[in-house]
Chains A and B, each alone.
Chain A
């Protein structure tokens, strides 16, 4: 019973995976930390060299593995360390949003923000807003949904978690 209660409480709390570019947004998150700004602990930050390094596959994979939201932080337009990485991010995320919308993933679950190294307060504000928005939507929890979808078929012997692994296996 006790376990059940804790499980439910945990189940309600959304997880957000954040990809922060090392030059701007990650530094800003560092600043937020050293400045003792407060934001909810729901975010798991992954540091990437550039927001342009965030392959849309990373976002889809995060959702597939149970993330309820994905936040991407990059340098302001014109400030990219790699000149135009963040413009590519802008285009890719806009297109990915259209795809995800059709797949039933709400817009608020994927957010792109430009946060410069000095904007520690913006990191805290964006995370606060996003956790609030995703809490209102409820959890996405794809692993649980997948178990639900699979309940209609005979117990199977094929790969469950990673159908892509088979498709991705080596050819000649």
Chain B
């Protein structure tokens, strides 16, 4: 089964959409080189190995474990601890395990409101008895269990120590290939590094030359509201492109396709709170000098948290909604 001469590699997913697993498959021909160089010993989405197979291995015997997805359930947490123990390198793979990702936006609610929404209030749900999944259920003398659903979504490094981060939603095949090669050759940067360039996305954007020194925007627009000029900096067109405060590495894929950057690569090393930094950047980019004018411009940003912390709410300094404010107050 496993070849002891090749480094052993494990993949696992937690709270994520599956796109990161897809990114591995997207290596295309490259995946053959990877499979040739390493021995995949655990990959639930593609190969039939069990948790007990991993448990049976000696500690530290897996060379690298790639874990994608945020940590929401007790099972994901246990798997993170298990893979941490068994692997020499634990890699947070993709925006969700790196910063919390899209699932991390659930930190704007708590466990009860999520369950109430999913098993009660969603328009497509018919559940008059209010049945909800139970963590343990006994029937005919047999006990069945489900993982516990936590109140808070966490990044991987809030649960276990992480050696390296591969950013992106998902990481590009090139970054993954570079990372695999760096690990196999032992040419690794200091522990804790994000395996992507430490400059802003604008640096890789083909529209960079058209970005004016001074932006004086009077309103922000969403992509469906304007005809986008494909040859001009998107931010200068009033589109909320997050390139100025997002790490490079994707080679500006989204702006190249006329879509403003949404920030999936997270911050560069100088930023401690992505959303707050973006608030700073956006505040400098528009032109309004009275409270009324400021409010008028800001009303064109309908969802500030969902915009500025789209991939990073659990990694933010506040981490989650800190107290309940009524929806009416929040909408003001």
Contacts and interface: CB of A to CB of B under 8 A. Distances in A.
Interface string A104-143: 1110000000000000000000000000000000001010
Given A101-B325, A104-B322, A171 B304 contact: no
A55 B271 CA distance: 11
A5 interface: no
Interface stretch (A8-16, A34-42, A92-100): A92-100
Interface residues of B, number: 76
A102 B325 CA distance: 8
B21 interface: no
A94 to B, nearest CB: 5
A153 B72 CA distance: 10
Interface string B243-270: 0000100000000000000000011111
B325 A104 contact: yes
B87 to A, nearest CB: 13
A154 interface: yes
A101 B332 contact: yes
A64 B295 CA distance: 26
B323 interface: yes
Given A152-B151, A171-B269, A172-B195, A103 B276 contact: no
A61 B269 contact: no
A166 B267 CA distance: 11
Given A56-B280, A95-B282, A171 B195 contact: yes
Interface in B171-204: 189-190, 192-198
Contacts, number: 193
Contact of B197 (A90, A166, A172): A172
A57 B289 contact: no
Interface string B288-311: 111100110110010011001100
A149 B151 contact: yes
A172 B288 contact: no
B189 A56 contact: no
Contact of B77 (A55, A101, A145, A154): A154
A172 B165 CA distance: 12
Interface stretch (A20-28, A43-51, A156-164): A156-164
B162 interface: yes
Contacts of B193: 169-172
Contacts of B99: 167
Given A101-B332, A170-B198, A60 B160 contact: no
Q: How large is the interface on A (under 10, 10 to 19, 20 to 34, 35 or more residues)?
A: 35 or more
B86 interface: no
Contact of B160 (A94, A96, A98, A157): A157
A91 B316 CA distance: 21
B201 to A, nearest CB: 13
Contacts of B194: 167, 169-171
Contacts of A88: 283-284
A59 interface: yes
Contact of B322 (A99, A145, A152, A156): A145
B275 interface: yes
Nearest to A63: B318
Interface of A: 55-57, 59-61, 63-64, 77, 84, 87-88, 90-92, 94-96, 98-99, 101-106, 140, 142, 145-146, 149, 152-154, 156-160, 163-172
Given A61-B273, A90-B291, A92-B284, 15 more contacts: A56-B280, A60-B275, A84-B289, A90-B289, A95-B298, A101-B325, A101-B329, A101-B332, A102-B304, A145-B322, A152-B152, A154-B77, A167-B194, A169-B192, A170-B269
29 contacts: A55-B277, A56-B279, A57-B280, A60-B318, A61-B273, A84-B289, A87-B289, A91-B297, A96-B276, A99-B308, A103-B322, A104-B322, A105-B318, A106-B325, A140-B322, A149-B152, A153-B159, A154-B77, A154-B78, A156-B159, A158-B158, A158-B162, A163-B157, A166-B165, A167-B165, A167-B315, A168-B268, A169-B190, A171-B189
Interface of B: 77-78, 81, 84, 98-99, 108, 150-152, 154-162, 165, 189-190, 192-198, 247, 266-273, 275-277, 279-280, 282-284, 286, 288-291, 294-295, 297-298, 301, 304-305, 308-309, 312, 314-325, 329-330, 332
